[in-house]
Structure 1
Amino acid sequence: MPARRIALLRGINVGGGKKVPMAQLRELVEGLGHTAVRTYVQSGNVVFTAADPDAAAAEVGEGIERAIAAAFGFDVLVTIRTRDELAAVIAADPFAGVADHPSRYHVLFLAEAGDPRRLEELDRAAYEPERFALRGRELYLWTPEGLGRSKLAQALSERRLGVAATARNWRTVTTLLALADAAE
């Protein structure tokens, strides 16, 4: 199977703005020459086979960003991971056996590798039982009471991280891998 890619769009279809219908998003991605395009939930997750399997992730993401801006009139951050990168995110799960509720366990996909020094000043004990772990371009976040009530999630802002990010819950992460593995 050709290398599959996953596009994670940040901030669409939440609240009142940045509406992107999934059927139109699929058509837009197909219009860029990508194939076997599938979307998952309304929050902007696209699984596809890249038109150019050797294209850099940033190039693919920027192409989708430009197409969304042209079609919908607003900017959206698009973060790209390969199927194998997503599988590695799941395999590296630092909270296996602890995070027992997939909708309260999140992965923040960072646009570039995070700097662990930016997180050193956080008093982890002050946020327990919430936990986080930075692994390269992903930050794992366990919020047993939910993301909306999480003080740790508020503390882990993009400003503190120093890099743009988009979050997905564990159920979405594992479903995206299953979609990437599904026969075209």
Structure 2
Amino acid sequence: MPRYVALLRAVNVGGTGKLPMTELKAMCEDEGFGEVQTYIASGNVVFSSKLGAAKVKAVLEQRLEAYAGNPVGVVIRSADEIAAVLNANPFPKAPPNYTVAIFLDEPPPKDALKQIRGQQDEEVRLGKREIYVAYGSGMGRSKLKIPAAVKGTARNINTIAKLAAMAAEG
């Protein structure tokens, strides 16, 4: 049975979108997903399902909207895809806690790098359905604006590595 990683957008970050991970796990189990595990309280869940990725996304988004009362974006990656994102990191020498992949549903537009504003010491590269950013001085000080990433959700390389390992265990 395929293994998936679901990444929820704007959950438990800065006081928005409060969702206990126990609730997220219960929702996934109620939908028939197997081997459900959450990772840290920022909307990461790993599970197996007979459903395809698009159906998993639709089921989770519907369930989360019913729970939260407003839409909650969900990005789905298979176990192989999350491992590929980790392996494709174009900044292997950058600190993993200062380096993120911003996960998107679709490939980033070809002109995404030209739309960037406020870039200082950050390095940005496009991936298949991700935008990678190495924050030289850290995210907290950054003024970087990436319009193509507005509907995405970012995870640092440490988190991606952990999620890839969890997804591979199934």
Letter of the 2:34 partner, please give it. T
1:109 equivalent in alignment to 2:103 = yes
**How many residues in Structure 1 have an aligned counterpart in Structure 2?**
170
Q: 1:132 is matched with which residue: 124, 145, 161?
A: 124
The code of the aligned residue for 2:41 comes to Q
| Deviation sequence 1:102-143 (CA, Å, 0-9, x none) | 2111110012111122323558xx845310100120111000
Residue number in structure 1 paired with 2:164 = 177
**Paired-residue identity, %:** 40
CA contact (8 A) 1:18 1:74 kept: no
TM-score where L is the length of structure 2: 0.91
Residue 151 of structure 2 aligns with which residue?
Answer: 164
Residues 1:51 and 2:50 are matched in the alignment: yes
Residues 121, 60 of structure 1: alpha-carbon distance in 2 compared, 3 angstrom cutoff: closer
Structure 1 segments, 4+ long, off by >4 Å, are: none
Summarize the alignment of residues 53-92 of structure 1 with structure 2, pairs less than 5 Å apart: 55=52, 57-92=53-88
Work out the CA distance in 2 between the residues paired with 1:40 and 1:67: 19
Q: What residue number does 1:42 align with?
A: 41
1:17/1:117 CA distance change after superposition, 3 Å: closer
Alignment partner of 2:142 out of 141, 144, 150: 150
Q: Could you tell me how far apart the structure 2 residues matched to 1:173 and 1:162 are? A: 17
In the alignment, structure 1 segments of 5+ residues that lack a partner are: none
Q: Can you give the 5+ residue segments of structure 2 that lack an aligned partner in the other structure?
A: none
Contact in 2 for aligned 1:114/1:161 (Cα 8 Å): yes
Instruction: Give SS of 1:41's match.
Output: coil
Please give the secondary structure, in 1, of the residue aligned with 2:55: helix
